[in-house]
Amino acid sequence: AQSVTQLGSHVSVSEGALVLLRCNYSSSVPPYLFWYVQYPNQGLQLLLKYTSAATLVKGINGFEAEFKKSETSFHLTKPSAHMSDADEYFCAVTGGADGLTFGKGTHLIIQP
Amino acid sequence: DVKVTQSSRYLVKRTGEKVFLECVQDMDHENMFWYRQDPGLGLRLIYFSYDVKMKEKGDIPEGYSVSREKKERFSLILESASTNQTSMYLCASTGLRGASATQYFGPGTRLLVL
């Protein structure tokens, strides 16, 4: 079984500041990890995924995430926040072939 | 580009009605999924299907059923809608079976049960 914990249902940063969205996972098998973004009134779009090839994963829109097995974490970062980054972000894990297990989501708020 | 479409963006139904939510993908994907999304709970897996006529229960199948008669179409059925099924429903598909496969999502159907 697997689970995901996203710390903070809302995260607020200033425009131009570092974005850090936290994700910790639990999995009984080597995990595959995903970050998705949800635009308003739309489905989810993949930002990036970890599939064991490299621990630092680069995604779209300047986001990246680092897999740390010792900390069971997969935090999402972006060096400089833009107003257009204000959306909801979901971390997800899968250890088997049967669908994704999602965290509860984090709303990213960008302050001008 | 993969395209996953859902038949309705918004639906309003009454308690006890039978409700059909339709999902179609245009990339010949074998695997399709239904999730529901609720504030503060994230997305939870209802049912999935690996092939035509096949279905598997996810984490919260109670009150739902599914149908997959054609490869491109996966329907979610609420046999007798209840107010606690008011939610956003998201369909997804993937062409690969396996834990690393990327799922592609439709835009969602927001269902209100009165």
Task: State which residue of chain B sits closest to A37, comparing Cα positions.
Answer: B105
Q: How many CB atoms lie within 10 A of CB B50?
A: 14
Instruction: Return the pLDDT at A1.
Output: 76
Reported residue count of chain B is 114
Distance of CA A95 to the CA centre of its chain: 17
**Angstroms from A1 CA to nearest CA on chain B:** 11
The partner residue sitting opposite A49, judged by closest CB among B41, B102, B106, is B102
Pick among B47, B59, B103, B109 to test the A interface (most A CBs inside 10 A) = B103
Q: Averaged over B21-50, what is the pLDDT?
A: 93
Q: Averaged over B58-86, what is the pLDDT?
A: 96
The partner residue sitting opposite A102, judged by closest CB among B43, B98, B106, is B43
Q: Averaged over B73-90, what is the pLDDT?
A: 97
pLDDT tens for each residue of A34-92: 999 998 878 899 999 998 878 999 999 999 999 999 999 999 999 999 999 999 999 99
Instruction: Return the pLDDT at B102.
Output: 86
**Contact with chain A for residue B16, Cβ under 8 A:** no
The partner residue sitting opposite A99, judged by closest CB among B40, B58, B107, is B58
In chain B, which residues have their Cβ closer than 8 Å to the Cβ of A99? 33, 35, 45, 48, 58
Task: State percent of chain B over pLDDT 70.
Answer: 96
The partner residue sitting opposite B103, judged by closest CB among A4, A100, A105, is A100
Q: Averaged over B34-53, what is the pLDDT?
A: 93
Residues 6+ apart with CB under 8 A from B107: A41, A42, A43, B5, B6, B9
**Angstroms from B99 CA to nearest CA on chain A:** 5
**d(C-alpha A67, C-alpha A75), whole Å:** 8
Q: How confident is the model at residue B52 (pLDDT cuts 50, 70, 90)?
A: very high
**d(C-alpha A70, C-alpha B51), whole Å:** 37
Instruction: Return the pLDDT at A96.
Output: 58
In chain B, which residues have their Cβ closer than 8 Å to the Cβ of A6? 42
Q: Residues 28..67 of B with a Cβ closer than 8 Å to A: which?
A: 33, 35, 40-45, 48, 56, 58
Q: Which residues of B20-35 are buried (b: 16+ CB within 10 A; e: fewer)?
A: ebbbbbeeebebbbbb
How is chain A split among helix, strand and coil, in percent rounded to 5? 5, 55, 40
How is chain B split among helix, strand and coil, in percent rounded to 5? 5, 50, 45
Instruction: Return the pLDDT at B99.
Output: 67
